[in-house]
């Protein structure tokens, strides 16, 4: 359906919107971007508005691209003279949040799983984790029931042989990698359009903006997603979570190097590098997700896609549980509870892995691609029509 809508404000600004879109959310985003493109009051707040200004019309890929430049900080809603109850009903954060949620399902591979996770994200993720834990318990119990219930001096490989653990992790880790390849390829194909090729400088700029969460600053004062008073807490908790995750990943890499490079077998001492990295990262994965969970409960619901917050919740809950079970395993690794705790921890970690392609985690990857495109467009100064 070809649209051509004209809005007239009391201050005599006119907005003309044209476009063909498949969903109501895309049509609404087109309407808002057309209004914002005429107004341009928010152009200093984040990357969404400068990227929008490079366009006169918006196809589906453009709108999806803009949605992943948004951090949902809320600043443009509070600053907007056309936000509800104004008749223009401009609510950019909620509309872009809806588009992002649509894109998780739209680009997910395989798509039937995306539906299951989108509808009941937390329940499906927890059931997946419980199923993997039950599988590990069954596997160990079948091979050597005593290994599950007796103290093993912290030797995880007496509960589950190293080869079996690597095979299980390898198989489950391969799945999200494969899913990401399909999803990111489809996403990039849709948003790329005729954007210029990203050079090294654009890539570096996009990476720096991603790692510093530059656009979660709400234009400088902070995020206003809980109230009109800007706060840096959401940005802080995102940082703590992100770097906690990276440190835990680094701990796993160092432990792998110890095992294969130097022939040093786990368990490692509490003062060893992999354990220290894991402890610091684990603290980040307790504090960051807990903070994000609390802030999400306080967030003004008018700024969100109210119907779909489940996968966001599932992601932070699974990160928290990964860290919690990891700490319990480390503290009780010399006790008879180690076998069960190891099974539980593996179940949570692998359940988290399997849910990654369908929720908030993939948004980080889409955002990186969107920022690469944004940096390339800014550097070349191109204007796509």
Helical H segments across the chain, by residue range: 24-39, 48-53, 60-69, 75-79, 92-107, 111-119, 121-143, 145-149, 156-159, 162-192, 200-211, 233-257, 273-298, 310-331, 338-355, 360-380
Closer Cβ to ligand SF4, 209 or 251, answer by number = 209
HSE of 341, CA atoms in CB hemisphere, 13 A: 22
Does 35 bind ligand SF4 (CB under 6 A)? Our answer is yes
Does 73 bind ligand SF4 (CB under 6 A)? Our answer is yes
- Least distance CB 246 / ligand SF4 (angstroms): 23
Are the beta carbons of 133 and 348 closer than 8 angstroms? yes
According to CB under 6 A, which one of 29, 42, 248, 275 is a site residue for ligand SF4?
Answer: 42
- Least distance CB 39 / ligand SF4 (angstroms): 3
Helix 233-257, helix 273-298: angle, nearest 10: 150
C-alpha angle 87-92-97 in degrees, rounded to nearest 5: 130
Size of the site for ligand SF4 (CB under 6 A): 26
Closer Cβ to ligand SF4, 42 or 354, answer by number = 42
Does 370 bind ligand SF4 (CB under 6 A)? Our answer is no
Are the beta carbons of 349 and 100 closer than 8 angstroms? no
Pick out residues in 191-250 that bind ligand SF4 (CB under 6 A): 215, 218
- Least distance CB 36 / ligand SF4 (angstroms): 3
Instruction: Considering only CA atoms, give the Rg of the chain.
Output: 23
Closer Cβ to ligand SF4, 90 or 184, answer by number = 90
According to CB under 6 A, which one of 19, 74, 106, 326 is a site residue for ligand SF4?
Answer: 74
Does 29 bind ligand SF4 (CB under 6 A)? Our answer is no
Candidates 42-50, 138-146, 202-210, 237-245: pick the segment binding ligand SF4 (CB under 6 A): 42-50
Does 270 bind ligand SF4 (CB under 6 A)? Our answer is no
Residue 115 makes CB contacts below 8 A (sequence gap 6+) with 105
HSE of 232, CA atoms in CB hemisphere, 13 A: 8
Binding mask 80-119 for ligand SF4 (x = CB under 6 A): xxx-------x-xx--x-----------------------
- Least distance CB 12 / ligand SF4 (angstroms): 15
In DSSP notation, 127-181 reads HHHHHHHHHHHHHHHHH-HHHHHS--TT-HHHHS-HHHHHHHHHHHHHHHHHHHH
Using CB under 6 A as the criterion, which residues of the chain lie in contact with ligand SF4 when the complex forms? 35-36, 39-42, 45-46, 48, 70-76, 79-82, 90, 92-93, 96, 215, 218
């Amino acid at each position: 359906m070809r649209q051509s809508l004209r809005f007239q404000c009391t201050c005599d600004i006119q907005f003309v919107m044209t476009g063909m879109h498949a969903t109501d959310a895309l049509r609404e985003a087109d309407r808002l971007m057309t209004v914002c493109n005429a107004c341009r009051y928010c152009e200093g707040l984040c990357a969404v508005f400068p990227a929008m200004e490079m366009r006169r019309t918006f196809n589906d890929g453009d709108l999806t691209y803009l949605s992943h430049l948004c951090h949902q900080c809320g600043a443009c809603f509070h600053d907007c003279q056309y936000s509800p109850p104004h008749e223009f009903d401009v609510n950019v954060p909620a509309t872009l949040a809806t588009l992002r949620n649509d894109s998780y399902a739209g680009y997910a591979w395989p798509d039937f799983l995306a539906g299951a996770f989108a509808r009941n994200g937390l329940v499906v993720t927890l059931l997946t984790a419980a199923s993997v834990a039950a599988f590990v318990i069954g596997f160990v119990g079948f091979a050597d029931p005593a290994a599950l219930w007796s103290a093993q001096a912290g030797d995880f490989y007496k509960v589950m042989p190293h080869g079996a653990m690597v095979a299980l992790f390898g198989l489950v880790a391969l799945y999200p990698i494969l899913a990401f390849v399909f999803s990111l390829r489809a996403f990039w194909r849709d948003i790329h359009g005729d954007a210029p090729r990203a050079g090294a400088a654009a890539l570096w700029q996009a990476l720096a903006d991603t790692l510093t969460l530059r656009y979660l600053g709400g234009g400088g004062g902070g995020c206003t997603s809980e109230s009109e008073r800007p706060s840096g807490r959401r940005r802080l908790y995102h940082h703590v979570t992100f770097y906690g995750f990276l440190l835990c990943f680094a701990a796993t890499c160092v432990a792998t190097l110890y095992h294969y490079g130097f022939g040093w077998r786990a368990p490692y001492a509490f003062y060893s590098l992999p354990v220290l990295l894991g402890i610091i990262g684990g603290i980040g994965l307790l504090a960051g997700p807990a903070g994000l969970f609390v802030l999400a409960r306080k967030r003004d619901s008018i700024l969100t896609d109210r119907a779909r917050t489940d996968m966001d919740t599932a992601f932070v809950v699974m990160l928290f549980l990964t860290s919690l079970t990891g700490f319990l395993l480390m503290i009780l690794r010399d006790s008879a509870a180690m076998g069960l705790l190891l099974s539980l921890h593996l179940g949570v970690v692998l359940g988290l892995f399997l849910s990654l392609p369908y929720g908030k985690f993939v948004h980080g990857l889409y955002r990186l691609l969107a920022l690469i495109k944004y940096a390339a467009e800014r550097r070349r100064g191109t204007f796509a029509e």
